[in-house]
Amino acid sequence: MSDGETAEAARFRVRALERLKRIRRALAERDWLGIAIEVLVVTLGVLIAIVAQQLVENARWRTEVREFRRAVDRDIAWSLAGYQVRLRQSECVERRIAELERWRDSWREGRPGRLTGEIGRLIGTGMPTSAWGSRSSELMRHLPPETRRDYGSLNDSLANTFQQLVAEREVWSSLAAFSGARQLSDDNLMRLSELTFRAKLYQRVLLANAPRTMRTAARLGIRPSFENDRTMQTIERDPNRELCTPIFEGS
């Protein structure tokens, strides 16, 4: 408790004691009108104090909720921008998968083609969650039910998306091991088939989940943004040239 709060509490005790003395004196004198007035004043004082305290408490929670939402919105905006970076690579991702499948099929058909460059890699970003993780149950109770539901749904969706992105990048790291390969065994061809299948699966899932995620964010007034990070803004405009350059040369 601060010095100001301590002093205020002391003044309140003094006033309460003085009022009790007046009530005691009125009782001794059988001054029923005086007693009624004192009781009424005490009751009104208590009610006013309760209302004032509630107003102060509500103002404090409005401030805390506003600051919490500002921090969470900033994290979500960054995550959405990272999601968009990945989505903007989709066309090149699909073309590269098709090239790898044609390369695999050329070996199976006995007229092997070759790759003339690196298979490439996906550009990804992190998805910050520290602000959402700092929430308390009491703070969440001060959010409107629909807003609370949308925040929960959106953060769950982004957490799931991030897991998929991490798994997808692992698939592409494994695909990169085929860069420069001159011979493909049967085991290599089976492994290549597995990896291209998984790459196509992640591509479909990420594209399918994006509209719902973006709609939920829009309801909360959140738009994808890397804020003032110029490096990420540059990447956002041109996320990946490696995957967009053709590398398969058929036989």
Q: How sure is the predictor about 244, in pLDDT bands with cuts at 50, 70 and 90?
A: confident
The tens digit of pLDDT for each residue in 135-147 reads 888 889 889 999 9
| Domain ranges across the chain | 79-249
Instruction: Give the DSSP H or E segment for 183.
Output: none
Residue in the structure block whose two tokens are 């002391």: 10
Instruction: Give the C-alpha separation, 30 to 105, whole Å.
Output: 108
Out of 55-64, 86-95, 110-119, 174-183, least confident range:
55-64
pLDDT at 204 (0 to 100): 96
pLDDT greater than 70 at residue 19: no
Between CA 240 and CA 247, with CA 243 as vertex, the angle to 5 degrees is 145
Q: How sure is the predictor about 170, in pLDDT bands with cuts at 50, 70 and 90?
A: very high
Q: Is 159 helix (H, G, I), strand (E, B) or coil?
A: helix
Beta bridge partners of 249: 114
Out of 18-32, 110-124, 217-231, least confident range:
18-32
pLDDT at 1 (0 to 100): 47
- The predicted model gives 126-138 an average pLDDT of 88
Tokens of 210: 């994006």
Backbone φ, ψ for residue 249 (5° rounding): -120, 105
The tens digit of pLDDT for each residue in 212-229 reads 999 999 999 999 998 877
Q: How sure is the predictor about 101, in pLDDT bands with cuts at 50, 70 and 90?
A: very high
